[in-house]
Amino acid sequence: MEEGFSRKEQLAGGFLLVLIIFTVVTLLVIAQAKGWFQTQNTYRIKFRQGYNLHQGSLVKMFNAEIGKVALLSITQTTERPQVEVIIKVNQEYANLVRQDSVAEVVSPTLIGSEYVDISPGTSGYPRIEPHGDIPSRERKSVTEHLSELASEENILKVKQMLEHLAKFSEDLKNDEKILQSALKHVDEVFVSLAEGKGTLGMLVMQKDLYNRMNQAIDHMDKFLVEAKTVMVDLRPTALNLGVFTKSINQEIEPLKAIVANIKAGSEELPDFMEAATGTARSAKDTMDAIKANPLIRMTAPTGAKSQTIHVAPRTLP
Amino acid sequence: MWRRAPFPSCWARLGLVALLVGGCAAKQDPFGQQVQRIDEVSIAGEELFSRGEMKRASRNFSRALTMSRSVDYLPGAAQQLNNLGAVALEEGDYPKARDYFTQAYNLNQERQQFVAASVNQANLATVAVKQGQAAAASQHLVAAQDAAQQSRSPQSLGRVYLQWAGFYLDQNDPAAAQDFLTRAQPLATTPELKGTLFHHRGRLALAQGDTGQALEMFTQALTIDRSVLDRAAMAADLFYLGEVSQTRGDLSPAWDNYVRAFDVYAGMGKKAQLQKCLKRLQEVNRQGRMGHSLERFEKLANPNPSPSPS
């Protein structure tokens, strides 16, 4: 008996092998693209309700996908049942999930489905370990928004605003009447002006004023011409003034010198005064010494002595 | 040929030797010199005080007080405190005057300087009179009299008696005034006291209606007060001379005396007294229909008259 595979069998086997290899490569490429081989961290978030989340809902940060919802379940451990959402976040973003991160369910406005948005944590806070809880913030429902909007305070404000609007429109109506009457008056005034009535009308409509103004301008022109002539005449005087100023400056120079001398003299005055005081003091000391001589003291006239003043008023009637 | 220089006579030589010996006998006394300087400053202050320049007088007395304190010269300090009180009294600051006089009295009493203590009490009596406190004034005069008696100084006692007489004349009690003037008569030996004695005698005579005697007394008082240049006393004598003449109906001498009194008071800057003189001048001018211009007196008595209401 002949052992081994026939040629046909070898061909079929080779074809199958190639097929398997192709399938495996294709699977690997798809898995790579899908991120099946990426390592992910698991976290838990608790909400009061599920907000239409489902398995596979996106988990985003900075509006970029960082993971997916892995599992949703309702827990009844505390006094109030809660929805527990298990998410998986790619490990490369795990360092952004920190104690101050907050998870919130975001609803798109028109198209799309709800996703979990996680705010990035700051570096000052520690990381949340895998399988740890991310703090959550409940999403407000439309009715809650409406109830907030329709609060008593807001209603009151709107009411006041409407009242003010009504008053404003009322005032506008009144102002319109006043404006109309004012415009009517202005119209009448213009009619009067056009007819040359009143002082202003006469001024505006009569040619007399125009003629007078023309005359005045003529006079002004003549005056300016004369002024120019006078200015020409004044020029030599101004030149003389310059010479005069120069001579004054020349006269001031000796005065300055005199003042400087006086200043220098005044600087010496304290020394002079000091010397004079010293001389006077030494002269006094000499006189005191002479007076101290018993022979002179005996013959010298007795000087006045200070006394305690007696204020004896001689009162007038 | 050289001439021989004239040589001093024997007597002149003897005199020179005596002077030299006397000079050697003189001792250095720094404290005495300082006291003398204090005296000089104080005397200058008294002169300013008598001229009515109170600000400058006060400056001198303050300086003398500081100097006295700096060398522990207590009699000088007491004296300057009294003199500062006199300035305050003249300026009308009675509480300050009382304070100064009391400080001076306490210092003098501690050191048993009874003459000065008597003056302090007499001044305190004047302050009380100015404040209208007659009872307090008489108490101070009693204390002044006690101090004067302790001092055994006739002039001091005479001064207090004369102040008593003035006090009773102000109180319209001529009998008591007469009594004190009689007691003061033998004690008034200095010109100041004699002038005061004659002045008060004149006032007493005027109060008793004896204008002739009053005229004589005030004239004598004026003569004495002028000799010692007591300006305030002179002005008062002149004013009373004017009053005596006015009472006698001699309006021309009355006018003259009031004018002289006015001028002396003007020199001292005494506003209140100037007003009184002006009032009398207006009276005499009106009574005698003299027609004198009062503009000069009005200007001096009212340097800043308030604008008359239109």
Has residue B64 been placed in a domain?
yes
CATH number for position B100? 1.25.40.10
Query: Can you tell me the mean pLDDT for B182-205?
Result: 94
Q: What is the predicted pLDDT for the residue at A169?
A: 85
Residue A3 has pLDDT above 90, yes or no: no
Has residue B84 been placed in a domain?
yes
Local confidence band at B309 (pLDDT 50, 70, 90 cut-offs): very low
Residue B253 C-alpha, separation from nearest chain A C-alpha, in angstroms: 18
The letter for the amino acid at A211 is N
Measured between beta carbons, the chain A residues lying within 8 angstroms of B90 are 311
Determine, for residues B22 and A296 on separate chains, whether the beta-carbon distance falls below 8 Å.
yes
Measured between beta carbons, the chain B residues lying within 8 angstroms of A305 are 39, 43
Count the residues in chain B.
310
Has residue B158 been placed in a domain?
no
Q: Name the 3-class secondary structure at B10.
A: helix
Question: What distance in Å separates the CA atoms of residue B258 and residue B73, rounded to the nearest whole number?
Answer: 44
Assess B117–A contact: CB distance below 8 Å, yes or no.
Answer: no
Assess B26–A contact: CB distance below 8 Å, yes or no.
Answer: yes
Has residue B111 been placed in a domain?
yes
Spacing of C-alpha A310 from chain mean position: 78
The model's pLDDT over B223-280, given as tens digits with 9 standing for 90+, comes to 999 998 889 999 999 999 999 999 999 999 999 999 999 999 998 888 889 999 999 9
Name the one residue in this structure whose structure tokens are 């009194």. B261
Determine, for residues A293 and B18 on separate chains, whether the beta-carbon distance falls below 8 Å.
no
Which of B16, B20, B46 is the mutation pick for testing A, counting most A CBs within 10 A?
A: B46
If one counts the domains in chain B, the total is 1
Measured between beta carbons, the chain A residues lying within 8 angstroms of B237 are 314
A82: its two tokens: 């809660």
For A307, name the nearest residue in chain B, comparing CA atoms only: B79
Residue B138 has pLDDT above 80, yes or no: yes
> In chain B, pLDDT over 90 holds for what percent of residues?
75
For B207, name the nearest residue in chain A, comparing CA atoms only: A317
The model's pLDDT over A50-77, given as tens digits with 9 standing for 90+, comes to 888 998 999 999 888 899 999 999 887 6
Q: What is the predicted pLDDT for the residue at A142?
A: 66
Lowest mean pLDDT among A118-132, A141-155, A247-261, B1-15: B1-15
Nearest CB to B82 within list A292, A308, A316: A308
Cα distances from B255 to residues A238, A240, B278, B282, in angstroms, run 68, 67, 10, 9
Determine, for residues B122 and A317 on separate chains, whether the beta-carbon distance falls below 8 Å.
no
For B64, name the nearest residue in chain A, comparing CA atoms only: A306
Nearest CB to A289 within list B26, B115, B196: B26
For A290, name the nearest residue in chain B, comparing CA atoms only: B23
> In chain B, pLDDT over 70 holds for what percent of residues?
92
Task: Give φ, ψ of B269 to 5 degrees.
Answer: 70, 35
Query: Can you tell me the mean pLDDT for B276-304?
Result: 89
Determine, for residues A312 and B236 on separate chains, whether the beta-carbon distance falls below 8 Å.
no
Residues 6+ apart with CB under 8 A from A47: A82, A83, A85, A105, A136, A138
Q: Which helix (H) or strand (E) holds A90?
A: strand A82-90
Q: pLDDT: is A233 or A106 the higher one? A: A106
Tally C-beta pairs within 8 A across A and B: 84
Residue A150 has pLDDT above 80, yes or no: no
Measured between beta carbons, the chain B residues lying within 8 angstroms of A314 are 166, 196, 199, 232-233, 236-237
The model's pLDDT over A262-305, given as tens digits with 9 standing for 90+, comes to 888 777 777 788 888 888 878 877 777 777 777 677 777 666 78
Has residue B29 been placed in a domain?
no
Portion 82-111 of B in contact with A at CB < 8 A: 82-83, 86, 89-90, 104
The model's pLDDT over A98-132, given as tens digits with 9 standing for 90+, comes to 999 999 998 876 677 889 999 998 888 898 999 99
The model's pLDDT over B85-94, given as tens digits with 9 standing for 90+, comes to 999 999 999 9
Helices (H), chain A: 7-34, 142-149, 152-195, 198-205, 207-292, 294-299
Residue B95's domain spans which residues? 37-152
Residue B154 has pLDDT above 60, yes or no: yes
Portion 210-239 of B in contact with A at CB < 8 A: 232-233, 236-237, 239
Determine, for residues A306 and B43 on separate chains, whether the beta-carbon distance falls below 8 Å.
yes
The model's pLDDT over A170-224, given as tens digits with 9 standing for 90+, comes to 888 888 888 888 888 888 888 877 776 776 677 666 677 778 888 888 888 888 8
Q: What is the predicted pLDDT for the residue at A298?
A: 73
Establish whether this prediction's ipTM goes over 0.85: no
